[in-house]
């Protein structure tokens, strides 16, 4: 991060320089710098999307030594002049390293974050769907006027892929060895055989991971995104698993007979148009001795707390407008929780209102998410 220059301290006896408009030119300059640093970030984000999409990070990660722009262009089948300008942006933004001979490389941390899809810190998911996310700017003026948002399928198939690439690396590394064992008695029950529902399953990564590990249990993923369900079905076919299925709850609703031993919701409750009603549906589905694993974005109760305690607050509020809150307001009576709308206290109160009586925050270390064990 680039530190924003601070306005120098002045005493009451110091002269205050001013322009013809009475403004302090230094203060105006500093504010302009702050403004255009945001534009730089947006433009560099677009360049990161291209680096991922065109395989340039992968090529640098695979190289035995720093690469010239000509070598990088040859390795990726691209035109050198375009590659060189892209590399200049990335080096200036400190995403990649440029040596004195203008040869470019990735530090090991960059290899993990930019070019290793199975690393838990892999970060290309949101950049994958960046064009679809930013394209919603064309729709936003009407949303601001009418109050009506847009669901996730408005981002198209690549939007679903981006969500998949955002969350599956961490889940693949942590769900089985860390998260499930943190739940009281759940692993033993999964091994013995229970019914599991993953609500808001997306492309199905968590369902397939658990189904592959617990052959005696039966897993159903529920989602309303046709793009996500299509990807989940394709991935299921590739695994050959027979204890998993993916359905649209509008045509195959959750059971209401208290038969589900484990319910999981990963990063989706805050996106839902009717989260309270969904919690009531989960209560009707869950067995008397069942467990609900609620995973959602870490959030505080107030804007002031989020703004001061979360260094990514500005990003998350912006993504909320373009994606999360928009989805949550895609029905006329949507709740509109937004990305930072489901704090621990809010989640606790909503679950209690739905009829759950036990709520425990799990000691699971994640930079983004909070994990809760909720029981009837």
Domain containing 244 equals: 136-375
For residue 271, CA distances in Å to 44, 165, 247, 258 come to 27, 18, 19, 25
Q: Predicted confidence band at 18 (pLDDT cuts at 50, 70, 90)?
A: low
Q: Are residues 6 and 106 in the same domain?
A: yes
Q: Are residues 79 and 173 in the same domain?
A: no
Rounded Cα distance, 86 and 250, in Å: 45
Q: Are residues 49 and 92 in the same domain?
A: yes
pLDDT tens, residue by residue, 138-168: 999 999 999 999 999 999 999 999 999 999 9
Residue 22 is predicted with a pLDDT of: 86
Does 131 reside within a domain? no
Nearest to 344 by CA among 307, 373, 370, 323: 370
- Chain centre to alpha carbon of residue 184: 27
Q: Are residues 245 and 171 in the same domain?
A: yes
Does 229 reside within a domain? yes
pLDDT tens, residue by residue, 273-290: 999 999 999 999 999 999
Q: Are residues 109 and 149 in the same domain?
A: no
Does 127 reside within a domain? no
Q: Are residues 286 and 362 in the same domain?
A: yes
Does 163 reside within a domain? yes
pLDDT tens, residue by residue, 21-49: 889 999 999 999 999 999 999 999 999 99
CATH of the domain at 98: 1.10.10.10
User: Domain tally for the chain?
Assistant: 2
Residue reference for tokens 């959602």: 296
For residue 137, CA distances in Å to 69, 130, 132, 133, 304 come to 34, 12, 10, 8, 26
pLDDT tens, residue by residue, 66-108: 999 999 999 999 999 999 999 999 999 999 999 999 999 999 9
Q: Are residues 245 and 313 in the same domain?
A: yes
């Amino acid at each position: 991060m680039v530190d924003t220059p601070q306005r120098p301290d002045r005493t009451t006896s110091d002269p205050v320089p001013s322009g013809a408009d009475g403004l302090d030119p230094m203060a105006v300059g500093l504010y302009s710098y702050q403004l255009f640093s945001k534009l730089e970030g947006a433009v560099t984000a677009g360049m990161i999307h291209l680096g991922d999409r065109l395989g340039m990070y992968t090529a640098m990660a695979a190289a035995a030594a720093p690469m010239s722009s000509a070598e990088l262009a040859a390795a990726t089948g691209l035109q050198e002049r375009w590659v060189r300008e892209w590399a200049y942006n990335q080096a200036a933004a400190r995403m990649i390293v440029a040596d004195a001979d203008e040869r470019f490389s990735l530090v090991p941390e960059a290899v993990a974050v930019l070019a290793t899809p199975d690393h838990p810190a892999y970060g290309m998911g949101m950049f994958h769907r960046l064009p679809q996310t930013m394209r919603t700017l064309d729709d936003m003026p009407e949303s601001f006027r009418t109050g009506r948002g847009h669901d996730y399928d408005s981002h198209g198939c690549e939007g679903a892929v981006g969500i998949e690439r955002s969350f599956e690396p961490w889940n693949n590394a942590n769900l089985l060895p860390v998260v499930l064992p943190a739940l009281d008695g759940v692993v033993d029950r999964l091994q013995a055989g229970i019914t599991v529902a993953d609500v808001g399953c997306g492309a199905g990564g968590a369902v397939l991971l658990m189904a592959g590990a617990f052959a005696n249990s039966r897993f159903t993923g529920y989602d309303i995104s046709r793009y996500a369900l299509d990807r989940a079905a394709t991935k299921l076919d590739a695994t050959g698993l027979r204890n998993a299925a993916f359905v649209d709850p509008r045509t195959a609703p959750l059971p209401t007979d208290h038969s589900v031993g484990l319910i999981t919701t990963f990063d989706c409750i805050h996106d839902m148009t009717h989260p309270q009603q969904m919690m009531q549906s989960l209560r009707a589905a869950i067995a008397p001795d069942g467990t609900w694993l609620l995973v959602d974005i870490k959030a505080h109760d107030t804007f002031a707390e989020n703004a001061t305690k979360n260094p990514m607050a500005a990003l998350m509020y912006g993504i909320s407008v373009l994606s999360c809150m928009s989805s949550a307001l895609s029905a006329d009576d949507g709740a509109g929780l937004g990305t930072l709308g489901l704090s621990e206290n809010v989640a606790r109160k909503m679950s209690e209102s739905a009829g759950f009586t036990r709520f425990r925050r799990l000691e699971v270390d994640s930079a983004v998410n909070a994990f809760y064990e909720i029981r009837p």
